[in-house]
Amino acid sequence: MRAVRFHSVGQPPVLEDVDPPRPGPGEVLLDVAAAGVCGTELHFLDGLLAPARTPITLGHEVAGTVAEVGAGVVDVAVGDRVAVHYLHPCGRCHWCRAGDDHLCDAPLGFLAFVTDGGFADQLVVPASATVPVPGSVSLPLAATLCCSGSTALHAVATAGVSAGDTAVVYGAGGVGLAIVQVLRERGARAIAVARNPERLALARELGADATVDGTSDDVAAAIRAATGGTGADAVFELVGTRATSSAALAALGKGGALVYVGYSFDRIEFDPLSLVVPEQRILTSVGNRRAELVEALDLAARGRLRSVVTEHPLDDAVRVLDELRAGRVLGRAVLVP
Ligand SMILES: [Zn+2]
Ligand SMILES: [Zn+2]
């Protein structure tokens, strides 16, 4: 079968022929329907993140149809439409038992980080990592929710945003656009910041109450003006550079939370005093819980969470990654084998 494999930093991934995987006990074989192309892929190519082994098949946002089940699988059947929780939790460790399965100590697999991902014709995952996709949700949309939608739900929960709050979404890619919608769902006001006018227009279409041009001279002042001068209750940092962090901190109001979801090679400096006096918080949010993927799919089924999805063939992977790097992907691109 075909798979898009990452070999080494600085080299584009390669579409190769590999042996098709076989499902072992407790596992299922999926025919991949779609796999989202996320900024995380670029972090592998750039060497900011290192997978546990190379070569490895990229793609952690995957939905498909069950083609075969391994021994002992009883709750998933051939033909089921499923989304994959990309960090496959063990279900037994301290973190899993506490419901924080995204922090699992002994995951059964981790797509594209430890085990082969979904930029391929087929994929084997533990049956316990699959989540049923409601009939009204397309598999390409379901694939994007495995990262962007569910990561957005997790980030908004981490920030503790409540109805009536104002939150800034700094970066309007796949995750940012999903956060805008989740904020609206929670009754909060969203201000989106992006450098691309088409992304800002899309953020408004998806529910942003205000937008700020990320190329303007003083982004923080523009955000403060949009909050009536008080600053934001939360800022979701999806870029994570020195410049965006500085603007994000300056835009934060009293008691506000700066939540890092994105990151870069930059190191960030801050002055503790300027955080202590207004009692501001710096938080981080990684990935998502299985329950958040279930909620994302449910919101999508009720029309409350959308993705703008563009479909591309598997052999276009390198071109799509280049487009993503250049900031030319609007919404989420998925690879369709
Ligand atoms: Zn992702
Ligand atoms: Zn665990």
Please tell me the distance between residue 94's alpha carbon and the centre of ligand 2 in angstroms: 7
278 located within any domain: yes
**Ligand closest to the CA atom of residue 95:** 2
211/197 Cα distance (integer angstroms): 10
What are the average pLDDT values for consecutive 10-residue runs of the chain, which has 337 residues?
96 96 98 95 94 97 98 97 97 96 96 97 98 98 95 97 97 94 97 94 96 94 95 97 96 97 94 96 96 97 95 96 91 94
| Contact call for residues 235 and 251 (beta carbons, < 8 A) | yes
Q: How many domains does the chain have?
A: 2
**Ligand closest to the CA atom of residue 36:** 1
Residues 171, 231 within the same domain: yes
CATH code, domain carrying 76: 3.90.180.10
pLDDT value of position 217: 87
Residues 9, 88 within the same domain: yes
277 located within any domain: yes
**Ligand closest to the CA atom of residue 89:** 2
| Residue 82 host element (H or E) | strand 81-84
181/208 Cα distance (integer angstroms): 8
Please tell me the distance between residue 64's alpha carbon and the centre of ligand 2 in angstroms: 24
Please tell me the distance between residue 86's alpha carbon and the centre of ligand 1 in angstroms: 9
233 located within any domain: yes
Residues 332, 242 within the same domain: no
Residue 312 in tokens? 């591309």
Distances (CA, A) of 200 to 62, 249, 254, 321, 323: 27, 21, 26, 21, 18
Residues 160, 254 within the same domain: yes
289 located within any domain: no
Please tell me the distance between residue 76's alpha carbon and the centre of ligand 2 in angstroms: 21
221 located within any domain: yes
| Contact call for residues 121 and 267 (beta carbons, < 8 A) | no
CATH code, domain carrying 246: 3.40.50.720
Please tell me the distance between residue 274's alpha carbon and the centre of ligand 1 in angstroms: 32
For residue 18, give its domain range.
Answer: 2-132+307-336
**Ligand closest to the CA atom of residue 96:** 2
User: How long, in residues, is the chain?
Assistant: 337
Please tell me the distance between residue 324's alpha carbon and the centre of ligand 2 in angstroms: 32
Residues 240, 324 within the same domain: no
306/142 Cα distance (integer angstroms): 10
**Ligand closest to the CA atom of residue 102:** 2
**Ligand closest to the CA atom of residue 44:** 1
294 located within any domain: no
Total-model pTM? 0.94
Residue 26 in tokens? 């407790």
pLDDT value of position 197: 92
For residue 74, list its beta bridge partners.
none
Angle between helices 242-250 and 219-226 (to 10 degrees): 30
Residues 54, 101 within the same domain: yes
**Ligand closest to the CA atom of residue 94:** 2
Residues 118, 204 within the same domain: no
pLDDT value of position 327: 87
Residues 321, 242 within the same domain: no
pLDDT value of position 331: 86
Residue with the two structure tokens 């939540």: 259
Residues 164, 207 within the same domain: yes
**Ligand closest to the CA atom of residue 149:** 1
318 located within any domain: yes
**Ligand closest to the CA atom of residue 93:** 2
Residues 39, 75 within the same domain: yes
160 located within any domain: yes
Residues 156, 88 within the same domain: no
Edge-first strand listing for the sheet containing 14-17: 14-17, 2-6, 56-57
Residues 234, 318 within the same domain: no
Please tell me the distance between residue 108's alpha carbon and the centre of ligand 2 in angstroms: 8
Residue 281 in tokens? 């918080």
Please tell me the distance between residue 289's alpha carbon and the centre of ligand 2 in angstroms: 11
| Contact call for residues 146 and 83 (beta carbons, < 8 A) | yes
